[in-house]
Structure 1
């Protein structure tokens, strides 16, 4: 068993006419969307763009390895950037990056970047917990609409990781039926899902057959909301749940992911806790808390999550200052919510989740029910 970058090493000599595009390619490009390109890549091949990227001294080692493998791969190096787009703003919060790549003369791929660690991006993420639709989703849909109209004769894949996966799925639901006909498939890798009032809409229902979501067996972020689309649970070599979020750490065999029997105990507890959060705590209370929380972080000049995590002592102090700057009413709401979540988590820890062979709920899972389950194979 290997990981996605091992797949590139094993199968990178096979062009798409010999080995058709599959879920591992989609996962690779979902990760590729995080690499620090800019609009200057338009018109360049992946070989040329990654060659220039590799020369950057600030490029971290893992990104450099990924770029080098793509640069040397016959499968990817002659693919071409058609577009690259970026938007970041505080109000309404949106952190958006997308790229369009020509896979072959008939097919293009739109890849959406997930959250980059900025407070703007994290603010956008938590907005999903109380808003059926967020501004970034409409930006993603507009981007897909623009690309599809620019290339009306091409078929399209969309892909993305985390929030990017949510954008990849949402975008195909929000474009016209004519453009939906151009879509082959929308891939989401550990994306957080959607609220029921969003996926109950006719336009979304029409697009569901073209959506597919992959989550690791220890998924956290993929458990946030509902998944009306088909969901595949994948094995991961990583023990730490946060590390499992990265699709480059998921297990693969030849040209598909390795399926897990079901979600891990920890992930199912997290899913049940999210269900409680989404159903028991009023949206108005969640919105009030998050708005106050991010305002407090901004008052402490915290603009990136790494300011809280790189130096844990300093981060804890900054976080404490932000918390103490909340007004008493908001602090009371925060304490009540934390207490509710803790109580719920303890309740579910005692549930009979130890039998990993049981099917917990049917695949169509809304938040009044239990955790999602997997299909038994990877249909790519």
Structure 2
């Protein structure tokens, strides 16, 4: 896992020495795949990263995850390195919310990572392993707004009111799509607090979303990160700055690398 290599290389360098960067963003967006609801319940308090890791280890075997875990299931493995270095261990975690609704075809989850400098990274989960999550993906191809996207707006508007400081939004895959959509249609006072929106190989939008006033307002803040043969990140229309990175794997597997 390339992210693990980064942690071993830079984990002793604090954010005060080397500012939050695009790789840090990818790490925090990946952590949204952890089921914080299983650990604490929905929006239940604020916790240290080490506390999260210890509680997770009480409920799960890291060795089993290393041997048999899927891409989304392997996200907690990053915590093991993160809590042992100076870069991430002072981060606080809170305000988790998840909603899986088969009837409405909604798969949504998000969590806030509070950085030591007071900036809040709001991480939106991408597609999970449920049929509902994948079904919602297909809806994105022909609907301007899915139920998960609606939930993303509600979550951001609600959580931003209780958070102090600037906001960074991000997510992997569908989570990146939700991050942009939530920012575009959030209250204007919240838009002004958003300093960056990271879309990590997430799909784009239909033209009516791209051409909306809200989207145009946040466009300068969007940073899309895609692998060199991106498939998911090139679906529909994706405006804003794009950074192409070199991946060591081929084809669709670059999406999860």
TM-score by length of 2: 0.90
Please name the residue that 2:110 is paired with: 98
Cα distance in 2, alignment partners of residues 155 and 115 from structure 1: 27
Instruction: Look at both structures and tell me which one has the larger radius of gyration over its CA atoms.
Output: 1
The answer to whether the 8 A contact 2:109-2:124 is kept is yes
**Structure 1 residue 218, shift from structure 2 partner:** 2.0
Deviation string 1:293-351 (CA, Å, 9 cap, x unpaired) is xxxxxxxxxxxxxxxxxxxxxxxxxxxxxxxxxxxxxxxxxxxxxxxxxxxxxxxxxxx
Cα distance in 2, alignment partners of residues 15 and 150 from structure 1: 26
Query: How much is the aligned-residue C-alpha RMSD, in angstroms?
Result: 1.6
SS at match of 1:245: helix
Distance change (3 Å), C-alpha of 1:80 and 1:70:
same
Cα distance in 1, alignment partners of residues 45 and 28 from structure 2: 16
* Structure 2 residues without counterparts, runs of 5 or longer: 67-73
Please name the residue that 1:17 is paired with: 16
Cα distance in 1, alignment partners of residues 252 and 85 from structure 2: 29
How many residues align? The count is 244
**Structure 1 residue 197, shift from structure 2 partner:** 0.9
* Structure 1 residues without counterparts, runs of 5 or longer: 250-380
Deviation string 1:156-193 (CA, Å, 9 cap, x unpaired) is 10110000010111111111221111101010111001
Cα distance in 2, alignment partners of residues 64 and 135 from structure 1: 27
SS at match of 2:60: coil
The answer to whether the 8 A contact 1:98-1:113 is kept is yes
Q: 1:1-380 maps to which residues of 2 (within 5 A)?
A: 3-38=2-37, 40=40, 42-59=45-62, 60-61=65-66, 62-151=74-163, 153-239=164-250, 241-246=251-256, 249=257
Please name the residue that 1:318 is paired with: none
The answer to whether the 8 A contact 1:114-1:164 is kept is yes
Higher fraction of strand: 2
**Structure 1 residue 64, shift from structure 2 partner:** 4.7
TM-score by length of 1: 0.62
**Structure 1 residue 57, shift from structure 2 partner:** 3.2
Deviation string 1:59-86 (CA, Å, 9 cap, x unpaired) is 5114453121112121111211121110
Cα distance in 1, alignment partners of residues 28 and 219 from structure 2: 21
The answer to whether the 8 A contact 1:213-1:232 is kept is yes
The answer to whether the 8 A contact 1:53-1:67 is kept is no
